[in-house]
Structure 1
């Protein structure tokens, strides 16, 4: 059942399809599992060329019998299928969300991190959980989360010995604010350049048009910012927040 641990029959199918040359996304689609689940299963049980379903199932059974499961034994996909969500729709949306984030300019790893955290109801994941979900190195997670924090798309806090990364209600507002500040810089820089080159020259005229465009954008964004702040305050009051 999707959201539960892989059973022996599923592992046999994974082995057959891997040997047939199918990709993790296609295998996941056939089993109604996230591609990341299939990738982790294969990676921690011999890899693409040495995956053996019987040995993988024995190893999983032994792990399940331990009193305290190790981090890499945790079933991190359960939450994605809670509330009677459709596994196929969840997986399809996950791929779509990553693609949208990539189209906005994020690296694929950063996009995957943001999508993973968005798709958890608690709105946070530890660095260890991200390593497990994405099957990448801790260094890769560290670099990508640092980049996302610099863009104000993610907030990191120390959780014991590990870092935990959060989304909150103001994530898009802070990202928008950074964009507004960049637009303001573009406007001022272009208008300064227009004065330097001369408004009656081709370069000066071009820079003036650019500066005026971004000036209009900044004014419009400021109006939008105020509308959002008013709306957000009303929403917080309705929820009984201070």
Structure 2
């Protein structure tokens, strides 16, 4: 262990942090996120200064630079990480903002609309009054519900974040 204060230690120096990173990444992977992006996302989440270089990520996670490259490319494409540089540095740093998770979840309006439109076509194709039509309608109605409720949940979350602790 380093003599630096815990808040300034590299996540690789702390077994409890590494355990958390791997456990959280496993849950993300089980939920459908590719394994390497899940691990990189978890490591960025606990980065002591909010960001890590590709080299930091490779050392921390004990993965190849190519694995880091693919993972950060994926995370940037889906809006779950950002790339930037610190003043005077030539290396890229990768970051996760405080609002990354709810932004990624709420920016699904287009997806929900596309799903609902396609499910409408499915209902018409299989017949509204059939068992299949009911099943497809139920899924469409669920996505409509999510599309309507998601912005309201985010608004409530933002209000809670602005409120002083109770």
State if a TM-score over 0.5 links the two structures.
yes
Runs of 4+ aligned residues of structure 1 deviating over 4 Å after TM superposition are: none
The alpha-carbon deviation at position 144 of structure 1 amounts to 0.9
Matched, 1:203 2:132: yes
In the alignment, structure 1 residue 78 sits paired with structure 2 residue 9? yes
Once the 2 structures are TM-superposed, how far is the Cα of residue 221 of structure 1 from its aligned partner?
A: 1.6
The answer to whether structure 1 residue 125 and structure 2 residue 52 are counterparts is yes
Calculate the aligned-residue CA RMSD, in Å.
2.7
Which residue does 1:224 correspond to in 2? 153
Given the alignment, which residue of 64, 67, 72 partners 1:140? 67
For the Cα contact (< 8 Å) 1:190–1:207, is it kept in 2? yes
The answer to which structure, 1 or 2, has the higher relative contact order (CA under 8 A, 6+ apart) is: 2
3-state SS, counterpart of residue 162 of structure 1 = coil
Measured after TM superposition, the shift of residue 180 of structure 1 is 4.6
Whether the aligned pair in 2 keeps the contact of 1:128 and 1:162 (CA below 8 Å) is no
Residue 16 (structure 2) pairs with residue 112 (structure 1): no
Q: TM-score, normalised by structure 1?
A: 0.56
- Structure 2 CA distance for aligned equivalents of residues 90 and 166 of structure 1: 17
Contact conserved, 2:119 with 2:140, CA < 8 A, in 1? yes
**Which runs of no fewer than 5 residues in structure 1 stay unpaired?**
5-76
Matched, 1:214 2:143: yes
Alpha-carbon shift at residue 204 of structure 1 (Å): 2.8
Could you tell me which runs of 5 or more consecutive residues in structure 2 were left unpaired when the two chains were aligned. Answer: none
